[in-house]
A and B are shown apart, each in its own frame.
Chain A
Amino acid sequence: MLLPRHLLFLLGLALIVPLAHAAPPAVAALPENSVYRIPALTLRDQQGEVFAFDALRGEPRVVGMFYGSCQMACPLEIEYLKRLQHAVSAESGRSIPVLLVTFDPARDDAAMLRKVAGGHHVQAPAFRLARPEHGDEGMLAGVLGIAYRQLPGGSFSHNVKVSLLDAQGRIVASANASGALDRAFVEAIVALCAGH
């Protein structure tokens, strides 16, 4: 019984491995300033789905970063992005997906992401909170202009910059996700979605 089971396992591997390593479908090469060209980054969202960051290409998206145990700026950032999604829907009838990646993966495990998402009533894939599983989220922060620094005590000093990426991952516009909605940012999203 052992041998066939091993064989089955190997056969299974043979099926899975090529799929896992297969390049994304033969789409046009990404532009050289595409954010999706950062070194490979694998993410897991609040619903447990694992995906490659560069597999998000194909539609416009708003991307930012946060951390789950943040008491002030991040809850405001999430609420800002919810208002942003509502404004875009109201003005264009289109939806703009949001991705927030944690820069505190040590504490932001799957349960923490679920808790934060539940508290704000946001669901993937329209509003994803994700943690890095493999790869360097710092590279993502760098290309998005997101700065963070851990302070003694465990909290972070950070900004709340969010960026609109076009379908190929080029940064079209950015905003600080706090306070009143940035009109120019809303209009950039509406214009990009209309053209997509």
Chain B
Amino acid sequence: MKPIRMAGLLMLLAIAPAVIAADYVTIPAGQFVSALAIDGSTSRIAMPSFAMRTEPVTQADYLAFVAAHPEWRRGRVSPLLAGPQYLAAWQGPLTPGPAVPARQPVTEVSWFAARAFCAGEQARLPSWYEWEYVAAADATRRDARGDPARNQALLSSILAGSGNRPGTIGRHRANFYGVRDINRLLWEWTGDYAAMFPNADARVAGTGATLALCGGSALAFADKNQYALIMRVAALTALEPADDAPRVGFRCVRDIHGE
């Protein structure tokens, strides 16, 4: 047991600097049209500037988090905040093991856990709009969504990866903003993911959907060419916040002071 513990400790020490140095880049303010429609129509959104993590949160980042926050270890976390699949691929509560390399995005983490992780580095989960705004870029363009070849390539990557754990971070070029792996590797929690189709709950109750809602009700896709995005929204909205799925991870954002 002792050598294994030592190895774990050494690994923690080795990754500590990487955690402190989690990179955020400034995403400049801009105008943006979401692929999601509000009340059946599109609207131009004024996005303020914010900072986003350049990479998804890694297995190594998450190991450091649970080491520092025992209440988020597998076996200790409240069942309200994480389900039975929480970190299921890890060998032990503090031992990811060989199945989950340090440089892979952490997955099988609940929305609650992702939220707590981000709070721990003075950050938060992005809103859907923030995520979508950054994900609209390719390596050279701020908004590459009108390029059919790019849309097809994203869809192909997602279909090829479905059923597998996400691969290693950094195999593709960073996008226009310097953000990596936002479109291909995995689904990512957003802070407001549960409210993408908010009228669903009202329908279940059999009450008038419009009465159950302030603001927008019928929320659908304004841009029907964004198949990869439609798949992503469908995958995310199927989840409960305590669910822990093998292809769902996250990254964090920070407000920029004064914005």
* A67 and B213 alpha carbons, distance in the complex (Å): 12
A-contact bits for B166-196, CB 8 A (1 contact / 0 none): 0000000000000000000000000110111
Asked if A149 and B192 make an inter-chain contact with CB atoms under 8 angstroms apart, the answer reads yes
**CB-CB under 8 A for A33 and B79, given A142-B112, A147-B194:** yes
A194 to chain B, nearest CB (A): 25
B-chain residues with CB within 8 Å of residue A151 when the two chains form the complex: 38, 215-216
Asked if B212 and A74 make an inter-chain contact with CB atoms under 8 angstroms apart, the answer reads no
Asked if A150 and B192 make an inter-chain contact with CB atoms under 8 angstroms apart, the answer reads yes
Asked if B116 and A39 make an inter-chain contact with CB atoms under 8 angstroms apart, the answer reads yes
**CB-CB under 8 A for A37 and B195, given A73-B212, A142-B241, A156-B214:** no
* A73 and B205 alpha carbons, distance in the complex (Å): 15
Question: In chain B, residues 195-229, which have Cβ atoms closer than 8 Å to a Cβ of chain A?
Answer: 195-196, 198, 201-202, 205, 207-208, 211-217, 219
The tally of residues in A whose CB lies under 8 Å from a CB in B reads 39
**CB-CB under 8 A for A152 and B79, given A142-B241, A176-B212:** no
* A182 and B212 alpha carbons, distance in the complex (Å): 14
Q: Which residue of the partner chain B has the closest CB to A182?
A: B205
B107 to chain A, nearest CB (A): 18
Interface residues of A (CB under 8 A from B): 32-35, 37-39, 67, 70-74, 76, 136, 138-139, 142-143, 145, 147-153, 155-161, 175-176, 178-179, 182
Asked if A138 and B211 make an inter-chain contact with CB atoms under 8 angstroms apart, the answer reads no
A-chain residues with CB within 8 Å of residue B212 when the two chains form the complex: 73, 159-160, 176, 178
Asked if A149 and B214 make an inter-chain contact with CB atoms under 8 angstroms apart, the answer reads no
Shortest 3 CB-CB distances between A and B: which pairs? A149-B195, A155-B215, A147-B194
A141 to chain B, nearest CB (A): 8
- Partner among A74, A147, A150 whose Cβ is within 8 Å of the Cβ of B127: A150
Asked if A35 and B80 make an inter-chain contact with CB atoms under 8 angstroms apart, the answer reads yes
Asked if A147 and B198 make an inter-chain contact with CB atoms under 8 angstroms apart, the answer reads yes
A-chain residues with CB within 8 Å of residue B219 when the two chains form the complex: 157
* A179 and B212 alpha carbons, distance in the complex (Å): 9
* A142 and B127 alpha carbons, distance in the complex (Å): 15
Any A CB within 8 A of the CB of B235: no
- Partner among A149, A156, A158, A176 whose Cβ is within 8 Å of the Cβ of B128: A149
**CB-CB under 8 A for A76 and B211, given A149-B192, A176-B202:** yes
Asked if B38 and A179 make an inter-chain contact with CB atoms under 8 angstroms apart, the answer reads no
Any A CB within 8 A of the CB of B86: no
B-chain residues with CB within 8 Å of residue A39 when the two chains form the complex: 116
A-chain residues with CB within 8 Å of residue B208 when the two chains form the complex: 178-179
Asked if B116 and A149 make an inter-chain contact with CB atoms under 8 angstroms apart, the answer reads no
Any A CB within 8 A of the CB of B78: yes
* A67 and B214 alpha carbons, distance in the complex (Å): 10
A157 to chain B, nearest CB (A): 5
A-chain residues with CB within 8 Å of residue B207 when the two chains form the complex: 176, 178-179
A-chain residues with CB within 8 Å of residue B79 when the two chains form the complex: 32-33
**CB-CB under 8 A for A148 and B38, given A157-B213, A176-B202:** no
B214 to chain A, nearest CB (A): 4
